[in-house]
Amino acid sequence: MSMAVSGPSGHPPLPGAGTPTVHELERLLRDNTVALSRVDEVWPSLYIGDMTAAHDRYQLWKLGITHVLNAAHKQLASSGCQDFYGAAMDYRGIAARDLPHFDISAYFYSAAEYIHQAVDVLGGKVFVHCAFGYSRAATLTLAYLMIHQHLSLWEAVSTVAKHRRIYPNRGFLKQLRTLDTKLQQERKV
């Protein structure tokens, strides 16, 4: 999937320009005009959605979903578990809280590996959700795109934002910036 989304100045960030600021990312996300929906495919075989879509097993089955990653496991109004989805779908829950001080980065690699195994290794389709599919689910999806698809943070945000309205909280954006810097340094070595 290629990127053609421009930066805050109307141009994409320059190669080697480093990690975008939180302010630049928030501006990109605020300018998003994609219509709101319950579930969207944001990358081949990778979907982000909300709790309502997560509770509609028939719709997930029609989409061909084989794996469900719940970023709001055991949180308010989140009743997902393996028993709910049965043998047709594999379930993984992460009890993340949508608070700027919550350390969601502790789940970046395990969530990315779960998505990678499901999509790239098993040829499945993954549905990542939280309460609204706006912050926690988006953050874990962005981490996957950065870790396994080798997109920069700007590319990952731009790619997902072309398909779904997202808005990770400020603390999550800071944690994604830290991941972006780390991955850029590792790839230079």
Catalytic residue set: 130
Distance CA 151, CA 157 (A): 9
Residues 118, 127: contact at Cβ < 8 Å?
no
Q: What are the start-end ranges of the H helices in 66-107?
A: 82-85
Task: Give the CA distances from residue 174 to residues 14, 77, 110, in Å, rounded to whole numbers and listed in that order.
Answer: 20, 27, 19
Q: Give the phi and the psi of residue 60 in degrees, each rounded to 5.
A: -65, -40
Cα 170 from Cα 108, distance rounded (Å): 16
CA dist 29 and 44 (Å) reads: 21
